[in-house]
């Protein structure tokens, strides 16, 4: 029997508009044992809350931020954090398993394994060990990956690739079992990376936008490269992964877009849907786009009530940008037998592109104020009305207004508003 291909969608590092999930950090000179312990404990709690959110949204793919343990790979942090917090890591790991969430990590552009400078390589190895230790402490399966770029060129790509091979061989087996290579936006194309991956037995993540910027062969489409990368994924490595992002218009090539644009995404999805893939989105609005893309491509397991939940989170943003679209979406969602996901998100995309309009923004702010006007103190009332006036006159920004309303939302504990995307400053 033929199995249907499945596309799963995930997002990276942060869950926006989810309370108490923002990771904390500190600067090096303040990184004493006391503070580090406090931050790690907090960050693990935050990670657990992100996973609860992911489960509720049926998101089963997530990248854990490298910031989870501040200075996790530096002598500045001499805590045996993996042992000290072993039980907390295990608890979270159990939930990952129970919820079916596949996690990965992605050391940044400053982790360079192929540097000619041995001190840089040493730090790169330490950094990989840190990331690996997090995944090990969570007791994740071998399909939980560590994604890395090849590194720099140093005027001689061949020699630099050879150095990658040599240094890779020195890594311990725990890291090798998790390491995955990705094509980057300026040095190593997908064919370079495939050459290394096939030779060394390392799975390869194909990055859509990087390949557009740093293209190895304009005559080949994404489907070709996905197929070419497929054989680098062995059974034990889990489902093949790719990265997907869109170019932010008007910014330099490679800049990630603020959100995943609906119609462009649907077109892309249709071009890859015959592959079985985990797709990691790299986009500024993180989980917002993940929820969007999941609702766009999995209509069989979703219904109009899911769009209505999304509408509850988007409505004030739409109201402040484009009241006519607000009305249009209300009409669109009236037919409870329909599932107009593409139209719904296209309208939201359209609304978000509208420029700020003072009258509309005041209107939306007054709607939110309506939740508090009876419980707010006189002082809060005076302050809010004054801010509205200042905003109207052009002497205050809308973000000041939103901060004020967000503070009231937290103070008076309104969970409906707390989940609203309205407060994510534009």
Closest CA to 10 of 241, 262, 335: 241
Q: Which of residues 174-203 bind DNA (CB under 7 A)?
A: 187
* CB of 224 vs DNA, minimal distance in Å: 27
397 lines the binding site for DNA (CB under 7 A): yes
Closer CB to DNA, 61 or 329, in the complex = 61
DSSP for 201-253, written as a single string? T--EEEEHHHHHHS-S-TT--HHHHHHHHHTT--GGG-S-EEEE--BPTTS-T
223 lines the binding site for DNA (CB under 7 A): no
Contact region for DNA (CB under 7 A) — 26-34, 223-231, 324-332, 335-343?
A: 26-34
Among 9, 69, 103, 112, binds DNA (CB under 7 A): 112
Burial of residue 134 (CB within 10 Å: 0-12, 13-18, 19+) is: buried
Helices (H) and strands (E) in the chain, counts: 18, 8
For the chain, how far is it from start to end, CA to CA, in angstroms?
A: 49
390 lines the binding site for DNA (CB under 7 A): no
| CA–CA separation, 193 and 243 (whole Å) | 14
| CA–CA separation, 112 and 70 (whole Å) | 19
379 lines the binding site for DNA (CB under 7 A): no
Cα→Cα distances 206→108, 183, 275, 283, Å: 17, 6, 13, 16
> Residue 40's Cα: distance from chain center in Å?
20
24 lines the binding site for DNA (CB under 7 A): yes
> Residue 198's Cα: distance from chain center in Å?
28
Contact region for DNA (CB under 7 A) — 83-91, 150-158, 319-327, 342-350?
A: 150-158
> Residue 299's Cα: distance from chain center in Å?
22
Contact region for DNA (CB under 7 A) — 107-115, 257-265, 333-341, 415-423?
A: 107-115
Binding-site string for DNA from residue 245 to residue 284, where x marks contact by CB under 7 A and - marks none:
-------x-xxx---------------------------x
107 lines the binding site for DNA (CB under 7 A): no
10 lines the binding site for DNA (CB under 7 A): no
Among 74, 247, 363, 414, binds DNA (CB under 7 A): 74
Query: Residues interacting with DNA, by CB under 7 A?
Result: 13-14, 22-30, 74, 108-112, 115, 117, 120, 123, 151-154, 187, 252, 254-256, 284, 396-397, 399-400, 403-404
């Amino acid at each position: 029997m033929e199995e249907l291909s499945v596309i799963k969608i995930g997002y990276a590092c942060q869950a926006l508009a989810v309370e108490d999930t923002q990771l904390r950090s500190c600067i090096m000179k303040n990184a004493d044992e006391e503070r580090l312990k406090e931050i790690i404990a907090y960050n693990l709690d935050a990670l657990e809350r992100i996973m609860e959110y992911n489960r509720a949204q049926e998101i089963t793919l997530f990248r854990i931020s490298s910031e989870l343990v501040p200075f996790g790979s530096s002598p500045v942090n001499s805590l045996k954090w993996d042992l000290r917090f072993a039980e907390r890591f295990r608890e979270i790991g159990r939930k990952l398993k129970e919820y079916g969430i596949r996690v990965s990590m992605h050391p940044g552009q400053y982790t360079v394994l192929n540097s000619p400078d041995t001190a840089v390589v040493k730090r790169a190895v330490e950094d990989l060990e840190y990331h690996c230790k997090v995944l090990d402490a969570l007791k994740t399966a071998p399909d939980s990956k560590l994604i890395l770029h090849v590194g720099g060129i140093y005027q001689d790509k061949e020699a630099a690739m050879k150095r990658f091979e040599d240094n890779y061989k020195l890594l311990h087996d725990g890291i090798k079992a998790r390491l995955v290579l990705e094509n980057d936006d300026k040095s190593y194309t997908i064919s370079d990376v495939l050459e290394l991956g096939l030779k060394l037995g390392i799975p390869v993540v194909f990055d859509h936008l990087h390949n557009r910027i740093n293209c190895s062969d304009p005559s080949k489409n994404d489907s070709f490269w996905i197929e070419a990368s497929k054989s680098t994924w062995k059974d034990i490595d889990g489902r093949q992964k790719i990265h997907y992002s869109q170019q932010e218009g008007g910014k330099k090539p490679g800049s990630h877009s603020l959100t995943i644009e609906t119609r462009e995404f649907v077109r892309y999805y249709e071009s890859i849907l015959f592959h079985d893939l985990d797709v990691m989105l790299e986009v500024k609005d993180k989980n917002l786009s993940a929820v969007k893309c999941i609702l766009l491509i999995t209509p069989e397991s979703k219904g109009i009530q899911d769009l209505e939940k999304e509408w509850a989170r988007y409505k004030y943003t739409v109201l402040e940008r484009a009241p006519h679209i607000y009305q249009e979406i209300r009409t669109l969602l009236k037919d409870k037998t329909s599932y107009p996901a593409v139209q719904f998100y296209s309208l939201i995309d359209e609304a978000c592109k509208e420029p700020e309009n003072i009258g509309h923004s005041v209107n939306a702010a007054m709607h939110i104020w309506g939740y508090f006007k009876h419980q707010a103190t006189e002082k809060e009332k005076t302050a809010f009305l004054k801010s509205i006036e200042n905003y109207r006159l052009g002497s205050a920004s809308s973000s000041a207004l939103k901060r004020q309303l967000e503070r009231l939302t937290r103070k008076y504990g309104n969970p409906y508003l707390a989940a609203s995307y309205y407060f994510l400053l534009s």
